[in-house]
Chain A
């Protein structure tokens, strides 16, 4: 045992303060309700114990259907108010700010891998600067995991085959535990890591000393060329049989079955590993699956590269 008895977790993110306020609000309400119920039960139990001299007889007017309707409606509006209060304070936190630093997380049994835009990679660790919103784009290589940092009051499941997102903006330098919170097999309890929050200057110095041959998009470009993606996607002329990828990210595309789809990270991921799933209209479905040729970290790099391509530039770089 070390460090005595912790009572309350550290708050290291602006939203953790909001969450704690909500928690304490609800805790106060709960304690009030429990005290009300318990004191009524105790008072009645003592006062109306069998044979006590307390008055019974005619029941007062207040013991009526109207009284019951009254407290039903009161409870309903109380809960409605709490819902409104809780929900309104979370609405702003749905989406990460546009200027957020984008960090990729790949979970696998039983390890966390993180990729910074600068190309720096970490295992079971994530370095982040204070004061900068950090958007986590996460996927799993096998089963469902959950990225949980109690100090940020932040948790998000990490799923295979799709990207899930969450974000934080740390405000207190320090090292905070990272847990896997979704049961993922034998070593679930060992799937631990740490989030190291540094002042921006320290973060810059830390980044500078990391081995980084290439930034993430650059690593993706290398993959793009080595996998030969360009032989179809960069071909021009009348017989090109694959869509050009420049500026595609964020666009709506028509699929061959008539659906429309938004090109986001999950769409690009599926297009590479399950190309038949969302075949784009106007092109033959000739692309093979690259699921075996590229792992999740490679996919992150490749998608970062695709996102970096300007419109009409093809894949040539």
Chain B
């Protein structure tokens, strides 16, 4: 496999990257895909982090399209003020299904359990996770819990919304709340196990010379995310247990009639669920840092600040939960404190946006599909973050909380930013994971379609939210119809954009060109091993002597054609794979 390709080319445009096209269906080279057995049990019993990542990828893809189908039905229903398709009860169950599945079974595990699982050992020069069996256990726990919940959501239905607010969820709802809560409770353990595993791996298994401040930012993102996972998830588990205890056994916890406090649940729930937003966005930030640097052939601007910013977000993120409760009846002075902290937590996010932008300065920028997603991320994340500042302002929040304004805001962060980054990362590491190149033209088309489809869907929701359209309405006043029609039309475009990768990735798996070890000319240890990596990752554990993202000499941006790729001149030199 040639390692001396022209710098910065796209895979499809790179003459040297073109491997011989193997006969259709011909077996791939020895890799983790084949090595270790091809039986079903060799997959279901695997402790190889790469295979576990694939198991996760298949599971969460299924959940993504299930949750996405619910979203599509919701948007079709809302074409008309009285609703096109469903009864109010069915509509309520549908948005609950959408929220529960997307938050807990797609967004929270998405990047960490797939790209994280696959790449973390490769990026730090390890042969596997610290606890390979726990890694497999976490997948079983995830699938087991998720299936319980999905059965509850599909068979009986749950009509509480993903937030499970009591006393509605504990006393008034006649739906399968208990089973759904048990499932989410179980899935929480999967998050905790994954978090512990990542932290132990990063602490214990870094290759010689891989100092903390030589870690790729993606690894730092996994580290910060794991911290949030193991500290916040137990609180969610506790609050769900309390819901179950009150619902099944009538324990007086949230029921005000017998001395309970319904607001207690909201405090516990948001103490998890706000940090959970950072569980979703920190990994995305890690992915974007990898993509922007390789696409611009530049060192990341302010590496140390990028690390500190992620840690600051993870820490301060624990102190802002009250901004979900400004209108709940909390003390106005508490609201002031939470408002202040919410402004503070926005600072490191803003710094990261500035740093990604500055990384482009004097680069040699190319615009392959991963970079298209990264640029989309930058725009959508900025809009999501700035509307977050509006929501951190108490008087504005009082008006727009629980309206479509909030719906639009968190979709900009969780879908616009996180899902864009997930797709970007999937395209960027696709050649590494599968050993095949994806069709670049289709991929760029899908990225652009996703960006516009997303904005068509969610931007009108800002406007109708400020006009006062409440969320979770099965039917709505006619004056909002035009905005709903725009939003629903956008959602149809978005659905097509999300389906496209399914097809061209499947095509690429079978017919894609064979990928070289390092199609992007990227630094990073994962690019020093063959694509796809062998079962044991590294024949020889590498010795790391360079900082990350050494695409050019310190203080000197790369001129075109000069030594800006690995293995030559001032590029990073690492132990080559055998």
Residues of A at under 8 Å CB distance from B? 1-3, 5-9, 15-16, 18-19, 22-23, 26-27, 29-30, 33-34, 37-38, 40-41, 44-45, 48-52, 54-59, 63, 65, 68, 71-72, 75-76, 79-80, 82-83, 86-87, 89-90, 93-94, 109, 142-144, 146, 148, 150-151, 153-157, 159-162, 164, 177, 179-190, 192, 273-274, 277, 291
Q: Is the Cβ of A26 less than 8 Å from the Cβ of B393? A: yes
Q: Contacts A19-B395, A162-B329 given: A144-B262 contact, CB under 8 Å?
A: yes
Chain A residues closer than 8 Å to B357, beta-carbon distance: 37, 40-41, 44
Which of B172, B367, B557 is the one whose CB lies under 8 Å from A109? B172
Q: Mark B251-263, 1 if CB is under 8 A from A, else 0.
A: 0000011111111
Tell me, yes or no, whether B496 is within 8 Å of chain A by CB.
no
Contacts A29-B386, A94-B332, A189-B88 known; list 15 others, CB within 8 Å.
A18-B395, A19-B396, A22-B393, A30-B383, A30-B387, A30-B390, A37-B354, A56-B364, A65-B302, A79-B347, A87-B339, A144-B168, A148-B470, A156-B327, A189-B473
Q: Contacts A41-B375, A57-B557 given: A1-B347 contact, CB under 8 Å?
A: no
Tell me, yes or no, whether B25 is within 8 Å of chain A by CB.
no
Chain B residues closer than 8 Å to A37, beta-carbon distance: 353-354, 357, 378-379, 382
Tell me, yes or no, whether B340 is within 8 Å of chain A by CB.
yes
Chain A residues closer than 8 Å to B475, beta-carbon distance: 189-190
Chain A residues closer than 8 Å to B414, beta-carbon distance: none
| Cα distance, A181 to B351, chains bound together (Å) | 34
Tell me, yes or no, whether B358 is within 8 Å of chain A by CB.
yes
Q: Contacts A34-B386, A41-B360 given: A150-B399 contact, CB under 8 Å?
A: yes
Q: Contacts A3-B479, A30-B386, A150-B468 given: A83-B339 contact, CB under 8 Å?
A: yes
Q: Is the Cβ of B476 less than 8 Å from the Cβ of A157? A: no
User: A35 to chain B: closest CB distance in Å?
Assistant: 10
Chain A residues closer than 8 Å to B8, beta-carbon distance: 50
- Which residue among B350, B358, B481 has the maximum number of chain A CB atoms within 10 Å of its CB? B350
Chain B residues closer than 8 Å to A180, beta-carbon distance: 470
Chain B residues closer than 8 Å to A54, beta-carbon distance: 362
Chain B residues closer than 8 Å to A8, beta-carbon distance: 466-467
By Cβ-Cβ distance, the 10 closest A-B pairs, closest first, are A161-B256, A150-B468, A189-B473, A44-B360, A30-B386, A56-B557, A153-B399, A164-B329, A143-B168, A181-B402
Name the residue on A nearest B351 (C-beta): A72
Chain A residues closer than 8 Å to B543, beta-carbon distance: none
Tell me, yes or no, whether B242 is within 8 Å of chain A by CB.
no
Q: Is the Cβ of A188 less than 8 Å from the Cβ of B472? A: yes
Q: Is the Cβ of B329 less than 8 Å from the Cβ of A83? A: no
Tell me, yes or no, whether B167 is within 8 Å of chain A by CB.
yes
Chain B residues closer than 8 Å to A83, beta-carbon distance: 339-340, 343, 392-393
Instruction: State the interface size on chain B (CB cutoff 8 A).
Output: 94
Q: Is the Cβ of B347 less than 8 Å from the Cβ of A75? A: yes
Which of A56, A86, A159 is the one whose CB lies under 8 Å from B558? A56
| Cα distance, A26 to B399, chains bound together (Å) | 14
Q: Is the Cβ of B258 less than 8 Å from the Cβ of A274? A: yes
Which of A57, A143, A188 is the one whose CB lies under 8 Å from B559? A57
Chain A residues closer than 8 Å to B256, beta-carbon distance: 159-162
Tell me, yes or no, whether B12 is within 8 Å of chain A by CB.
no
Q: Is the Cβ of B402 less than 8 Å from the Cβ of A23? A: no
User: A117 to chain B: closest CB distance in Å?
Assistant: 22
User: B385 to chain A: closest CB distance in Å?
Assistant: 9
Chain B residues closer than 8 Å to A79, beta-carbon distance: 343-344, 346-347, 350, 389
Which of B168, B261, B363, B383 is the one whose CB lies under 8 Å from A48? B363
User: A256 to chain B: closest CB distance in Å?
Assistant: 16
Q: Is the Cβ of A45 less than 8 Å from the Cβ of B365? A: yes
Quick one: which of B239-298 are within 8 Å of A by CB? 256-263, 296-297
Tell me, yes or no, whether B31 is within 8 Å of chain A by CB.
no
Q: Contacts A82-B389, A186-B89, A189-B475 given: A148-B468 contact, CB under 8 Å?
A: yes
Chain B residues closer than 8 Å to A143, beta-carbon distance: 165, 167-168, 171-172
